[in-house]
Chains A and B, each alone.
Chain A
Amino acid sequence: MARKLNLRIWRGDATDGGLKDVQVDVNEGEVVLDVIHRVQATQMGDLAVRWNCKAGKCGSCSMEINGKPRLACMTQVSSFAEEETITVTPLRAFPIIKDLVTDVSFSYKKAMQIPAYEHPKELAPGDARMEQIDVERSQEFRKCIECFLCQDVCHVVRDHEENKKSFAGPRFFIRIAELDMHPLDMLKNRKRTAQEEHGLGMCNITKCCTEVCPEHIRITDNAIIPMKERVVDIKYDPARMFSGLLRREKRD
């Protein structure tokens, strides 16, 4: 049975903008993206919204709903109180294009800076074999749908625009971790570049990336902290320091 929903939608572009109140019909079982589409169809024909699969798998409809970074297609309207006004804004860490659409090219630029998997020279591409337990470890990271909610919520760039040039963000720390944990990857310096070029040391483990991940990837516990520990292995480990391995490894 339809009811009326009070919705506030941010409308504007890089020059100006603000929250606009609308009232819209909502049916049982609908998600926030359904409601936005109804507003677009009935009241705001030029409302810009990015979406694609409506199934939580493409990562396109990332936005902030009542201040929290979420996928609009996976946010049930019924999860809010009936009398509550739902506020929908674009991602606040990225440059605005129009209405609910932001420019997420920051993440694509960072993706290009991560060196790809380096295959062992002695193995032909078809000859590589991995045990299931080695595959399983990185399987979790492969669930990433690149919605960039983790990039959006990370305060390192969300609250400090100037850090964007030196910080890759949680999405790319899981990519680096996946590669560094790959048994066949031959690139040797991922730990050091993670720390010195991609800004791993800027992360202060406040776990917001994990909290907002729609795929429930344990970004902090399974990727960022293990990478920080791997950096400690090569830079700050007491045993290695005392044995002089650290200095030798640096020379290598």
Chain B
Amino acid sequence: MKNIIEIENLHFSYPADEGEKPVEVLKGINLEIKEGEFMAVLGHNGSGKSTLAKHINGILIPTSGTVTVDGISTADEEKIFDLRCRAGMVFQNPDNQIVSSVVEEDVAFALENLGVPYEEMRKRVDNALKDVNMYDYRHHSPAQLSGGQKQRIAIAGIIAMKPKCIILDEPTAMLDPQGRKEVMAVIRRMNREHGITIVLITHYMDEAAQCDRVVVMDKGNIILDDTPRAVFSHVEQVKEIGLDVPQATELAWELRKAGYDVPQDIITEDECAEAIKRLFERE
């Protein structure tokens, strides 16, 4: 598989006030993301994960190093809109990214900006709304929708651009459990059915466990980069930087510490239940 996102030796510091030393937020990130990959980025507050996300579609430009998406460098100002069509971004607060007071017009916003002709726009908006299961709400006002529904509208607005990859910056952080489930289901489907590369920034471990690959960041560096199973088997290292592991992993880890023989790479509840069942059978 081809790499869709290539990040090479990325350093970034926010411009500092006069007399102050700039604080380096990203300290030499190297990362390659393959087409169709479903990747999670984990990290504590201030680990630089949101800053990294903003580099992928050119909202922030590296202080040094390069970020390339589908062959376009994010520093290339002339191709910035091309880049943003290829790498769409969804933010945490659904309220603050919906522009219009009518659902379908909000989904069309990006297409309107790009000057897509009416017939094509109508088709893409309808399809995007169907993709996120919100077609029946197309004439509603966003104010009438739940958080999860609003976030799905925000995702539809991005899907309508037909991006190759979508970066989601903690899209479920402000939602209730039901909304989280709906949004995660939509994201997973986009990845499986449409082959869209997903970069999911999250601090929910169970969401990260559903991904193909997990990158853990701490203080501007990538410290772990592997499958969720492998990453979460480093329970102590993950806990050291202030993150949790999925509850099932934690239980298995505690059992191992207490001297029981359970496998190290448990990440789902079913696996955990199975391991405990086997323990009992052996007793």
Q: Do A and B bind each other?
A: no
